[in-house]
Amino acid sequence: MNTAFLPISKQDMVERDWHYYDFLLITGDAYVDHPSFGTAIIGRVLEAHGYRVAILSQPDWKSIDDFIALGKPRYGVLINSGNIDSMVAHYTVAKKRRNEDAYSPGGKAGKRPDRAVIVYANRIREAYGEIPIIIGGLEASLRRFAHYDYWDNKVRRSILLDAQADILIYGMGEKAVIEIAKKLAAKTPVQEIRDVKGTCFLTKGETDCEYPFVRCASFEEVRNNKRSYAKANLIQYEEHDAVSGKAILQAHGSNVLVVNPPAPPLTTEEFDEIAELPYVRAVHPVYKSEGGVPAIEEVQFSIAHNRGCFGACNFCSLAFHQGRTISARSHESVLTEAIAFTEHSEFKGYIHDVGGPTANFRRPSCKKQLKAGFCKNKQCLAPTACSQLDADHSDYLHLLRKLRNIPKVKKVFIRSGIRFDFLLRDKNGECFAEIVRHHISGQLKVAPEHCVSHVLDYMGKPHIEVYEQFQQRYKKLNSRYQKEQYLVPYLMSSHPGSELKDAVAMAQWLNKTGRQPEQVQDFYPTPGTLSTCMYYTGLHPKTLEPVYVPKDREEKAMQRALLQWKRPEKRALVEKALRKAGRTDLIGYGSDCLIRPLRSKQSGTKTNTQSNQNTHSKQGTKSKGKNKSYGKTTGKSKQRKAR
């Protein structure tokens, strides 16, 4: 196993006998040399092409001292905020400051600034003047256009302007960064690098665009007109296709933002090469005294076998970042990685995950997609699966079988998301059966998200009947193999289109199924997604029809509380929500009731109003036994790992 990390100090460079280096790679994460971390991938890819790369992780941004400590690189500076957006890393959906950061030493928050890409880039510009600055990673990728910013509650211009950067790489970046590096090494001025796919730049005229292009509304237009924002967002979404996508031009004052077409997805051979670079697969030892970096724990013995997601949920940034085309590694490459696990001193025989954005995607959604790109007027899986969908799971099944047969491997688990509707489309059902039999660590996480059809349509998800069919099949398979394995549904509250009555319907559905989630995710409006567009504009970008958007803080709290109605601390909010929704019939003792009436503190009896409400219960006090039984079910669910 490789033991050489990329240099992080002058001393490291001296030990390598480096008198210069080519690229400074700055990141908001701690340095973990593992292929699950974007910084490690970009650093190793550049190294493999002969470039010298130094890492500057989590620099002190309050001065330029850390930014000049390694000296000036020959060709340029590459900047990302880390594996996740710095604002999401710092703030909950309620905009409260988080106390932990899994990508920082000891899990401690505060090691990176808000809007890290902008802050780091401005410090580099202050330190080195006109040096080429290339920004990338998730934070930059999702902010490449003028975008609604949830934390500022306003439309911000492209991050390129605020960062004072020369080029923005969006998407996964390996191909683009090598092409840019070659041009810079050949002394091409950074202002002349205009033809790299998967990149954005600023110019003064449209003639600098080297690809067929479309225009979308300017920054000023989308800032001032929500209808224009929605139209622009749809153009940006539909052109993000490596086969059919055009360049997009968006004016920003006297500047023109040029967003070149997406880079082609990695071939299997290219993906294998990147996965097999000489990563140390460990946290840099400099963090040992601080307790290491928690983010390594789940991925150290996990395998990412694919990229991309044609599921394309409206609230998810994957389609706008990685894209909808699937790239997959070869079986040989995945097996090589797994065999290397067995030689690691800390490996206990368990491969924690064989997944990716969606674990059971290993092939294009259909044959047409590779030649003509994705359909612009429909989704592959929602609201119903396309008739042309290729749902053959045999390749993934054979890969799992091979991994199970590796000596010293006791279990191979799947912990990243399974697309349950896609698994149901597999004709012979063999893969589903073997996943249940061999690859679940006590619970399987899936994402129905909601139960109300029109809300699911706004989400871009299949209707709940599909999930219920999956649930029934899952139960039967567990019974067949004498397994006690749970299904853990991911659920979301307050998504655009969800009214209070819809949250009540969700609570009723959960009550009927005998489940109550321990954690619920409020919709989080991250830049670039179609759902965020709905949140900001109140319009569906595909139809321009009005969409109800729950924004009131109390209503959002009530929608969330309804999904956890049995928690004592949520009771007051649940009752208030039920009264506001006109559903006091759900306050009582019947099996379909969500909460019981309060008793008078003085007499221990129900108030007159509560007695009247109780008469609406069809089952009356006879249902108490069922409530006790349900309480046992809820008790079991508390033991399950939360979302």
DSSP string, 159-219: HHHHHT-SEEE-SS-HHHHHHHHHHHHTT--GGG----TTEEEEESSGGG--S-EEE---H
Residue 239, classified by CB atoms within 10 Å of its CB into exposed (0-12), middle (13-18) or buried (19+), is: buried
Which pair of tokens denotes residue 535? 């949140």
Residue 92, classified by CB atoms within 10 Å of its CB into exposed (0-12), middle (13-18) or buried (19+), is: exposed
Q: What is the pLDDT of residue 376?
A: 85
DSSP letter at 497 equals T
Q: Which helix (H) or strand (E) holds 393?
A: none
Please, what are the domains in the chain?
A: 10-204 (3.40.50.280)
Q: Which residues contact 4 (CB under 8 A, 6 or more apart)?
A: 278, 280
Q: What is the pTM of this model?
A: 0.90
Strands 53-57, 23-27: pairing is parallel
Radius of gyration in angstroms for the set of CA atoms belonging to the chain, rounded to a whole number: 26
- How many Å apart are CA 68 and CA 64, to the nearest integer? 6
Q: List, for residues 335-356, the tens digit of each pLDDT value.
A: 999 999 999 999 999 999 999 9
Which ranges of the chain have pLDDT less than 50? 1, 603, 607-643
Whether residue 383 is preceded by a cis peptide bond, meaning omega within 30 degrees of 0, is: yes
Which pair of tokens denotes residue 12? 């490291």
CB 198 within 8 A of CB 260: yes
- How many Å apart are CA 112 and CA 152, to the nearest integer? 18
CB 101 within 8 A of CB 89: yes
How close are the terminal C-alpha atoms of the chain, in Å? 34
Q: What is the pLDDT of residue 602?
A: 52
Which pair of tokens denotes residue 107? 């899990």
Q: What is the pLDDT of residue 2?
A: 54
Residue 497, number of CB atoms within 10 A of its CB:
23
DSSP letter at 4 equals -
Query: Beta strands of 199-341 (E only): which ranges?
Result: 199-203, 213-215, 247-252, 255-259, 282-283, 302-304, 306-307, 327-328
